[in-house]
Chain A
Amino acid sequence: MSTTTLVKDRIEHIDPRRRETLLGYLLVLPSVLLIGAVIIYPLAYNLYLGFTEVPLNPDQSPTWIGFQNYEALIGSTRFWDATINTVVFTVGSTLLATAVGLGVAILFDRTFRGRRLARGLVLLPHVTPIIAVAFAWQFMLDPLWGNLPDLLAWLGLYESEVGLLQSREQALPMAILFDVWRNFPFAFLLFIARLQAIPQSMYEAATIDGAGRVAQFKDIILPELKGTILIAILLRFVWEFNAFEPVWLLTRNLETLPIYAYKSAFSTYDQGLGAAIAVMLFLFQLVMVAGYMRFVGEDEL
């Protein structure tokens, strides 16, 4: 009893304006604590791990080794190969998924019977559990009974003995293809909403003005969708850069940075190296996103 009255007494003696400020801090404190615990702490800990060698024995604490992990990475071809794979995979799948999404959205921007159903079906690749579709694709790409190699062979485009997922050269385009197929509905969804906000009369005015389909695409659709397209590219870029499961579940013959980090940390138990790769991944991404924002201008987004 006496302590509560004491605290109450002390609170009442604080200057009212200061009391207001303190209350403000008190109110945001839970969010700050939560963000600190689930975001800042793991991030900082990962940064710390990157400078250490983590012993397998949980009783021993990590040994500080300075920049050794980073030096090893920068000197290794495996790291740079993985980086190139990541960049090619990210840029390829981001641009293609956006382009395909835009194309399909334009096709769907009209009224026809069964439009709602068709639109739902287009979303299927994006919402089906990835484990199921990854295995379906593996099956389709199988050199023995897969229908895709079969089709390609029939067209005379493919005659290798090696399966399409077996070598890095072919696994990379296949991974991009799979990822585009899985993620174009996301871009589609963003674009179709925006397209439907363009009044029909604007196309009609352009038709009267003598603008053909191509001119209408260039002068109406693209400018109207510019902001949405830039956002779609940014979001997909960030997600693809960190993407793990679309590549890992489809093929083990393509190593991107997230996969390299995973293998280092959990297959070879070099947690320090894994953490260092993750930090490099984060840095690359930071530079690229900053460059992108610079390039398109913040106002456009």
Chain B
Amino acid sequence: MTEFRLENVTKRFGSETAVSDLSLRADDELLVLVGPSGCGKSTTLRMIAGLEQPTEGSIYIGGEDVTHQSPSERSIAMVFQNYALYRTMNVRENIGYGLKHSSSLSADERTTKVREIAEMFDIDGLLDREVSELSGGQKQRVALGRALVRDPDVFLLDEPLSSLDAKLRSRMRTELQHIQQELGVTTVYVTHDQKEAMTMGDELAILNDGELQQTGTPEATYARPTNRFVASFLGSPSMNLLNVNTEHRTGGVTCLLNEQELVSLSDDGQATDRSVQLGIRPEDLELLAEPPNDAVTGTVRHVEYQGNDNFVQIEFVNSTLTCIVPTVVQLSPGETVGLNFPSDHVHLFDMETGDTIRTPPVDPGEYRNQSGALSADHGESEPQSGE
């Protein structure tokens, strides 16, 4: 219902630029701002909340320019990383505090609203507890309740799950998604955890060094990263990168490393005459137990047992590659294995700028959601520019 928009927003702290020329929009969906620490994602969130003033640019909520409005004038609510519950108030007072100060509801109406939201988050039994008596998960729920009781147009979450243990975190993750879908409230979610971003987001905005790298659905950004940063940031273990030489041959381009032919690509003419980096995800790299004589080979260095898979570290020329193999494949350190780089999974990046030269041709049916960005340019290799 409510559209939220950032237009060319820049934030500088002294001579330090935290966010530079950022434009974003979200509409009734869950937008995840993700990036390594110090990338400007929290600053962006705080600017949307009104806790920081942008140096340049404008912020719109529901079509209205709110750039110079105070936090309480904007229809937003925020959940802080450390919850920021009022320690001297009980749960009921915590949830009702915002209603008391920024709504015209009567005391009775406020009590009803607090009760409703408490029931929604299953904390109606805790209303008279002090904050210090709550567990981490309960505090989390109270913080969410305190934010959502005000019916915000934009709901902001700053790493809300980072202080919960792994099990609780994945439960809260699903619960949050559920609530967001149910209420249909435009949500901006900040996290440094790419896995959390991929599982939760309708849209991702990947930031690095204060600059927007790419926006798109998790599927689109994972399959077609616009540059090396996005490619290696998303996915765990991260994408293998190799510095290779390219050579024009009949029918396409061949990638060579140490005179060894790694892969021939039929679809790319642009890769030649440049220093190029080849990228392949660990799940796409294939191992050959009995390599033919002319195959590329590497040495197994370490096998990491993961339960359902093994992560295998392979020494190859001067670098280490990671490969995910099923646990039935028995490998031991020192063993020589053949490596196959399937041409329909190979990414190429410009060595200097890091921009994508080639993304693998993608069959849209392979991914769990339809994704507009992917279907049209099937098999094409145009570098995708940041949206």
Contact = CB atoms under 8 A, between A and B. Distances in A.
Nearest to B73: A210
A219 B97 contact: yes
A220 B89 CA distance: 9
A206 B102 CA distance: 11
Contacts of A208: 49-51, 71-72, 76-78, 98
A204 interface: yes
A199 interface: yes
Contacts, number: 62
B84 A209 contact: no
B82 interface: yes
Contacts of B76: 208
A162 interface: no
- Identify the interface centre among A205, A219, A224: most chain B CB within 10 Å of its CB: A205
Contacts of A207: 51, 70-72
Interface in B69-115: 70-72, 76-78, 80-82, 84-89, 97-98, 101-102
Contacts of A209: 72, 97-98, 101-102, 146, 150
A219 B86 contact: yes
A226 B87 CA distance: 12
B84 A205 contact: yes
A82 B50 CA distance: 58
A201 interface: yes
A194 B253 CA distance: 67
A220 B85 CA distance: 11
Contacts of A202: 84-87
**Interface range for B:** 20 to 34
B86 A201 contact: no
Nearest to B51: A204
A224 B88 contact: yes
B84 A201 contact: yes
B88 A220 contact: yes
Given A202-B86, A219-B86, A224-B88, A211 B101 contact: yes
B143 to A, nearest CB: 9
A161 to B, nearest CB: 53
A215 interface: yes
Contacts of A199: 82, 84
* 5 A-B pairs with least C-beta separation: A210-B102, A223-B88, A209-B98, A210-B72, A210-B101
11 contacts: A201-B80, A201-B82, A207-B51, A207-B71, A208-B76, A208-B77, A209-B102, A210-B98, A211-B97, A219-B88, A223-B89
Interface of A: 199, 201-202, 204-211, 215, 219-220, 223-224, 226
Interface of B: 49-51, 70-72, 76-78, 80-82, 84-89, 97-98, 101-102, 146, 150
